[in-house]
Amino acid sequence: MTHAIRNIAIIAHVDHGKTTMVDMLLRQSGTFRENEKVAERVMDSNDIERERGITILAKNCAVTWKGTHINIVDTPGHADFGGEVERALSMVDGVVLLIDAQEGPMPQTRFVTKKALALGLKPIVVVNKVDKPGSRPDYVINAAFELFDKLGATEDQLDFPVVYASGLNGWASLTEGPAGEHWATDMSALFDTVLTHVPAHEGDPAAPLQLQISSLYYSSFVGRIGVGRVNAGTVKPAMDVWVMEGPDGRAYKSRVNQVQTFEGLERIQVTEAGPGEIVLINGIEDIGIGVTVTDIASPQPLPMLKVDEPTLTMNFCVNNSPLAGREGKFVTSRQIWDRLQKELQSNVALKVKESGEDGIFEVSGRGELHLTILLENMRREGYELAVGKPRVVMKDVGDERHEPIEMVTVDIEDQHQGGVMQALGERKGELANMETDGRGRVRLEYRIPARGLIGFSNEFMNLTRGTGLISNIFDSYEAYKGEIAGRKNGVLISMDQGEIVTYALGKLDDRGRMFVKAGDPVYEGMIVGIHSRDNDLVVNAVRQKQLTNFRVSGKEDAIKITPPIDLSLEYAVEFIADDELVEITPKSIRVRKRFLTEHERKRAGRPGA
């Protein structure tokens, strides 16, 4: 059963339109029944992906075009999930590189292009969103060429095919047309370019089996599921195999249970799959990323795939606040530990360690988003816990301490340049490049300690009044750059347990911005707001108006209160200082002092305590 196959990954910077493009490829290849109701950006299938409009996990689907089976991997664009992209590239034979027709290449474009070129893949460049008013395709193609060249592309890779597209409107064209018009009626130009430019995977179906696992799924029915491309040979259900962690690593015998392939958004069971097929296999209990599933008589292991080391750690703690256990179903140390162990089954870039302190686990990942998404998933499942301030993973090189440095790119309006440059400077950022677009916007590139970026996105949004774009990507480890000042403002701390009272809020209104509203429960040591000054202040937020002299006039009751800051999980995690925690329950996000009483805080703050 040989049929024509092409395997591609869609890669790009965040938001350049990958998932929207895959939608159109699915639709226009006739994957769905007529009248079938299909959600927009259907590949972003989990709740958090849908709500935030970002892709978190690379996912496979497959379409048929002119008789050829095309496996498509939609990849995430956010830098925290760069590892996902890298692993996806290990199972494809070609890539479609999307570049926003207005923004041009961005940091993650560079990252994914570099990985693709290094693997010898020849990208198809799609100038996407050409319908946008600021679209400038010529600039984008030149910039792409320069980028390829800088990244050491071969002559062949530099000679990339270009397709112009508006994924959202469902068309792609090989030639440029007039601005504001549709340059084609459908996506066939892109489909045809894939068929002609992406090589079919060569391999002998009769050769010994060689199948590398590039990603993992988990199912409570069949356990771990490995996904990968058959490099050579044929895989069949109930087949005995070697599972090998590279040529020199651990190896053990096992047996494949089922074999599936992708068809549209579904998976179908097959009786065999040959070279070039992307398959899902189950039955191998602790199958891991990068292993080769290979022939029992003549094993052919491939080198292991590398999984990126974590750069950021957070303490996950049992919630011990006075309000603990009221809103969550799973609250014990054991339950949190078991959930984290389950996460490790498929979240390959995550690491979990016991801290030595009871009920505190050190969880490390690829960035703030990677970790907060895990937390968000946990709270939706009914978990309750507390987390500390994220900290970067340092490395000892000789007797020097090294820290991760990020490359950050901001795209802002001219008028915000001064403020943003000052803020980045204070965080030990070094300006690496600056480009104005001559239309009122400027793009700045900085190298900056990852530490300095923790808590920056809130400030950045304020500085640019929400008009700025920011993205960052890991660059290298370098010698420690010295102290960076923490949060500028102190906090308002509740002195008592009870319910927030409007009267008290009125009294506190000029002290700073609040996180709470009337009726919210509070406890001693909980942070109720940001102090407008730099010191912490213990306040009474549950104080009732004293009823000593009764007056009938309603005048005084019209208290003016500034609306509170909506405390999202990300905001809270970015906001807290070293001695503070975020309390996370299925219903609430609260921030608190680690030590709840003033007395304990004083003792902990004393030198030598």
Ligand X SMILES: Nc1nc2c(ncn2[C@@H]2O[C@H](COP(=O)(O)OP(=O)(O)OP(=O)(O)O)[C@@H](O)[C@H]2O)c(=O)[nH]1
Give me the residues that bind ligand X (CB under 6 A), please. Answer: 12, 14-20, 41, 53-55, 76-78, 128-129, 131-132, 166-168
Q: Which is nearer to ligand X, 187 or 318 (CB)?
A: 187
Q: How many CB atoms lie within 10 A of CB 604?
A: 12
Least Å distance between CB 420 and ligand X?
23
| Cβ distance to ligand X smaller for residue 18 or 122 | 18
Query: Between 20 and 135, whose beta carbon lies closer to Mg ion?
Result: 20
Indicate the burial class of 402 (C-beta count within 10 angstroms; 0-12, 13-18, 19 or more): middle
**Closer residue to Mg ion (CB): 19 or 231:** 19
From the CB of 392, what's the least distance to ligand X, in Å?
24
Q: How many CB atoms lie within 10 A of CB 327?
A: 16
By a kind-dependent CB cut-off of 5 to 8 A, residue 210 interacts, out of Mg ion, ligand X, none, with: none
Contact 170, 24 (CB under 8 A): yes
Partner interacting with residue 14 (select from Mg ion, ligand X, none; CB below 5-8 Å by kind)? ligand X
Distance CA 548, CA 551 (A): 9
In the complex, the smallest distance separating the C-beta of residue 62 from ligand X, rounded to whole angstroms, is 18
Task: Pick the closer one to ligand X by CB: 113 or 166.
Answer: 166
Q: How many CB atoms lie within 10 A of CB 489?
A: 16
Tell me if 338 sits within 8 A of 383, measured CB to CB.
no
Nearest-approach distance from CB 199 to ligand X, in angstroms? 25
What burial letters (b/e) apply to 173-194, b meaning 16+ CB within 10 Å? beeeeeeeeebbeebbbbbebb
DSSP H or E stretch at residue 107: helix 107-118
Which DSSP helix (H) or strand (E) runs through 188?
A: helix 188-197
Distance in Å, CB of 46 to Mg ion, minimum: 12
Residue 391's binding partner among ligand X, Mg ion, none (Cβ under 5 to 8 angstroms by kind) is: none
Asked if 352 contacts 370 with a C-beta cutoff of 8 angstroms, the reply is no
Nearer to ligand X, 17 or 299 (CB): 17
The residue among 42 and 421 lying less far from Mg ion, judged by its C-beta, is: 42
- Residue 20 binds: one of Mg ion, ligand X, none (C-beta under 5 to 8 A by kind): ligand X
Closest approach, Cβ 27 to Mg ion, in A, equals: 16
Report the Cα 300 to chain-centroid distance in Å. 34
Task: List, in order, residues 6 or more apart from 15 with CB less than 8 Å away.
Answer: 54, 77, 100
Residue 181 amino acid letter: E
Residues 6+ apart with CB under 8 A from 472: 79, 107, 406, 407, 408, 409, 448, 453
User: Which residues in 178-277 belong to E strands, given as ranges?
Assistant: 210-219, 223-232, 240-244, 251-255, 259-263, 266-269
Cα 273 from Cα 139, distance rounded (Å): 43
Cβ-based nearer residue to Mg ion, 55 or 471: 55
The option from ligand X, Mg ion, none interacting with 83 (CB < 5 to 8 A, set by class) reads: none
Partner in contact with 12, chosen from Mg ion, ligand X, none, beta carbon below 5 to 8 Å by kind? ligand X
- Please, what is the Cα angle at 108 between 106 and 110, to 5 degrees? 75
| CA distances for 20 relative to 97, 107, 412, 513, angstroms | 14, 20, 25, 39
Nearer to Mg ion, 15 or 583 (CB): 15
Residue of minimal CB distance from ligand X?
77
Residue 590 binds which entry of ligand X, Mg ion, none, CB below 5-8 Å type-dependent: none
Closest approach, Cβ 132 to ligand X, in A, equals 5
Nearest distance in Å: CB 414, ligand X = 24
- Tell me the two tokens of residue 403: 């820290």
Binding region for Mg ion (CB under 5 A): 18-19, 55
Q: Which does 131 bind (CB under 5 to 8 A by kind): Mg ion, ligand X, none?
A: ligand X
Query: Of 12 and 96, which CB lies nearer to ligand X in the complex structure?
Result: 12
Q: In angstroms, give the least distance from the CB of 14 to ligand X.
A: 4
Tokens representing 246?
């590279």
Closest approach, Cβ 341 to ligand X, in A, equals 28
Q: Which is nearer to ligand X, 77 or 301 (CB)?
A: 77
C-alpha–C-alpha distance, residues 287 and 222, integer Å: 12
Shortest distance (Å) from residue 347 CB to ligand X: 17
3-state secondary structure 288-326: CCCCEEECCCCCCCCCCCCCCCCCEEEEEECCCCCCCCC
